[in-house]
């Protein structure tokens, strides 16, 4: 299966909301909107990393837009799925290993960006990721900072749609943690 097909399948299974029809329209012309050079708009993948204790979320102060956001970015040729792209980005941008992703998206968002491929819209598919116990992040070259925050004490300036990830992200991470604990 290609990343394009995985993205189409993932988005088709996502509950209908204000964004899903627009995401699916990207596939109508037969091109691959998972490629960042897709003219005008492309699909990105991001992850809200949740601490193993489910009491903090990891955010980065984005180097280009200077706001606190969840970790994420462009899909790469080696990404087999959108979840894999989000997990790769979370690992790269946090320096954390042992992250576990819930493969079901928690949110969709469309936002304009001054992308390195030119002005465009990022059609972001967002996932929840559970960090291992005692995870200590390291700031990557793409960020000005990366830090843990309590859900009720988020930093400013915060990305316009980042706060709406907190409740579904915590719930999805709790499901991951419960599933991992029940298999031990």
pLDDT tens by residue, 36-95: 888 789 999 999 999 999 999 999 998 888 999 999 999 999 999 999 999 999 999 999
Residues 65, 179: Cα–Cα separation, whole Å: 36
Helix, strand and coil percent figures for the chain, each rounded to 5? 25, 30, 45
- Domain spanning 3-182: CATH superfamily: Nucleoside Triphosphate Pyrophosphohydrolase (3.90.79.10)
Centre a 10 Å sphere on the Cβ of residue 37 and count the other Cβ atoms it contains.
Answer: 11
* pTM, to two decimals: 0.95
């Amino acid at each position: 299966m290609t990343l394009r097909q995985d993205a189409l399948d993932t988005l088709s299974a996502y509950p209908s909301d204000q964004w899903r029809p627009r995401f699916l329209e990207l596939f109508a012309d037969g091109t691959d909107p998972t490629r960042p050079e897709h003219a005008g708009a492309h699909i990105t993948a991001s992850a809200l990393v949740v601490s193993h204790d489910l009491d903090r979320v990891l955010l980065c102060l984005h180097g280009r837009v200077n706001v606190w956001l969840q970790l994420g970015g462009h899909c790469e040729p080696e990404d087999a799925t959108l979840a894999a792209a989000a997990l790769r980005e979370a690992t790269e941008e946090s320096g954390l290993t042992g992250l576990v992703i819930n493969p079901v998206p928690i949110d969709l968002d469309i936002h304009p960006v001054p992308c390195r491929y030119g002005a465009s819209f990022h059609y972001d598919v967002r996932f929840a990721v559970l960090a291992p116990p005692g995870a200590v992040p390291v700031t990557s070259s793409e960020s000005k900072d990366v830090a843990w925050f309590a859900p009720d004490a988020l930093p400013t300036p915060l990305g316009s749609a980042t706060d709406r990830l907190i409740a579904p992200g915590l719930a999805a991470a709790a499901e991951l943690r419960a599933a991992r604990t029940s298999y031990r």
